[in-house]
Every structure is written in structure tokens, then in C-alpha cells.
């Protein structure tokens, strides 16, 4: 028997209490909730006449209970989080990696066709000669290959590594970023 899903507000408050900047996700999705009409500029073809230009970090909607601007709305303020989840109890919980001082390694496990050339799995890293077609099937295999090539320890083996399982059976490894380090998203940089 599986245990019931945790209450999103409790999860958000717990994460915020540990210093992680939290924002709501659209129910059942991995994207931030949609902003209000005033905060969306629209598109070039269809500009939003109600849009008021402003800084997403200081948007007045945040204090009014609207988490506009996605990760820019992320906060550790328990009152704001409580208001957001009171208005959107089905929202998921997202953590803004940068403001939380995190680097998150996303290991996908949802298949796809690996590159025919093994060199494209880990560009610039010398790989063992015994890699055969079909031996690398998902992100776990690519990560294991990287760990082997670098003679390193598999993330998640150390007790201080927070690991989150994703809905697609992947893994997110959370690491504290070194202070004053700027990280840029590198989706698809390793693997395929």
C-alpha cells in the first residue's frame, strides 16, 4: 500500500524553513503556475494591452497572493507561501535553484534514442573502449559512465546529498553551489 501524497503547503514550508526559495508549480506539471494578465507582456503578434512593465522580483502581485513570474516569485516567506497555497491548494512545489544556492543534477530516465557515437555521450571525456550499442539506455547509465571515467563517487551515496525522484523515474541530485558562483542551465549538455 502506498502512502498518501504529502501536503504541498507543508512541503513548501519545510523547504523554505531550510532556506530553499519556493514557488508554486501548475498542478500535475513541472512548470510554474501561470501569471496574472497584468504581468504577461504577451507576444510580438499579440501584445497584452493590460501589461504593466515592472521587475519580476518585486512584482506587487506577489504580496497580493499571486505568484507571477515563475521562479522570480520564489520565496522563503512562510506567510506568502501560506497565502499562495491557500489560493492554489493543488499546486505543486518548485524550488528555485539559483536563489536557493543549489546546483541540481537532473538524471533523466525516460528513454530516447542514445547517440550512435558514444563520444557524444560525454563530450571531451575519454570513455572505456567496451561501450557497446544498447549498453547506455538512460541518464543513470550516462551518470555511471561519468563517475567511472572520473574515478568519482556516485552522487546520492553521501548522506548529505538530497535526492528527489521525479515522476518519470529520474533523479534530481541537489548540491550546494560554491558561494559567488554563477551557474547556467546546461540541459542536454551530457547524454542525449
Enumerate the β-bridge partners of residue 175: 103
Rg (CA), the chain: 20
pLDDT digits (tens, 9 = 90+) for 174-189: 888 887 777 776 666 6
88 and 105 part of one domain: no
pLDDT tier, 190 (very low <50, low <70, confident <90, very high otherwise): low
Could you write out the DSSP letters of every residue in 137-190? -SHHHHHHHHHHHTT-PPTTSSTT-EEEE-TTS-EEEEEEPPTT------TTSS
- Per the structure, the count of domains in the chain is 2
pLDDT tier, 140 (very low <50, low <70, confident <90, very high otherwise): confident
Cβ(113)–Cβ(52) below 8 Å: no
| 1 falls within a domain | no
The pLDDT score that the predictor gives to residue 16 is 97
pLDDT tier, 89 (very low <50, low <70, confident <90, very high otherwise): very high
| 76 falls within a domain | yes
Residues 6+ apart with CB under 8 A from 190: 121, 122, 123, 142, 146
Residues spanned by the domain of 22: 8-100
Residue 90: pLDDT over 70: yes
The CA distance from 103 to 97, in Å, is 6
48 and 117 part of one domain: no
Residue 18: pLDDT over 70: yes
Give the helix ranges, DSSP H, for 51-119.
Answer: 60-63, 78-87
pLDDT digits (tens, 9 = 90+) for 24-79: 999 888 888 877 777 778 788 988 888 888 787 778 887 777 888 888 889 999 99
pLDDT tier, 105 (very low <50, low <70, confident <90, very high otherwise): confident
pLDDT tier, 19 (very low <50, low <70, confident <90, very high otherwise): very high
Q: For the chain, how far is it from start to end, CA to CA, in angstroms?
A: 35
The CA distance from 163 to 166, in Å, is 10
Cβ(172)–Cβ(105) below 8 Å: yes
Q: pTM for the full model?
A: 0.76
92 and 149 part of one domain: no
| 2 falls within a domain | no
Residue 163: pLDDT over 60: yes
177 and 159 part of one domain: yes
pLDDT digits (tens, 9 = 90+) for 109-131: 876 777 777 777 777 777 777 77
The better pLDDT of the pair 173, 125 is held by 173
Could you write out the DSSP letters of every residue in 121-152? TSTTS---TT--TTS--SHHHHHHHHHHHTT-
Cβ(39)–Cβ(4) below 8 Å: no
13 and 71 part of one domain: yes
91 and 109 part of one domain: no
Cβ(128)–Cβ(45) below 8 Å: no
93 and 107 part of one domain: no
Last residue of one domain, picked from the residues 68, 100, 132: 100
Give the number of other Cβ atoms within 10 Å of residue 185's Cβ: 10
The better pLDDT of the pair 1, 68 is held by 68
Amino acid at each position: 500500500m502506498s502512502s498518501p501524497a504529502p501536503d504541498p503547503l507543508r512541503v513548501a514550508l519545510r523547504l523554505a524553513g531550510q532556506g530553499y526559495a519556493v514557488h508554486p508549480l501548475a498542478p500535475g506539471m513541472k512548470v510554474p503556475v501561470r501569471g496574472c494578465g497584468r504581468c504577461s507582456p504577451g507576444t510580438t503578434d499579440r501584445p497584452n494591452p493590460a501589461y504593466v512593465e515592472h521587475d519580476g522580483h518585486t512584482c506587487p502581485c506577489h504580496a497580493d497572493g499571486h505568484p507571477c513570474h515563475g521562479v522570480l516569485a520564489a520565496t522563503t516567506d512562510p506567510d506568502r507561501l501560506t497565502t499562495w497555497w491557500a489560493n492554489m491548494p493543488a499546486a505543486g512545489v518548485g524550488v528555485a535553484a539559483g536563489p536557493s544556492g543549489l546546483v541540481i543534477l537532473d538524471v533523466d530516465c525516460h528513454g530516447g534514442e542514445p547517440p550512435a557515437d558514444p563520444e557524444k555521450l560525454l563530450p571531451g571525456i575519454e570513455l572505456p573502449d567496451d561501450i557497446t550499442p544498447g549498453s547506455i539506455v538512460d541518464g543513470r547509465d550516462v551518470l555511471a559512465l561519468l563517475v567511472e571515467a572520473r574515478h568519482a563517487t556516485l552522487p546520492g551515496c553521501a548522506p548529505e546529498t538530497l535526492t528527489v525522484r521525479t515522476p518519470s523515474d529520474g533523479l534530481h541530485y541537489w548540491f550546494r553551489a560554491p558561494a559567488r558562483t554563477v551557474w547556467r542551465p546546461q540541459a542536454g549538455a551530457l547524454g542525449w
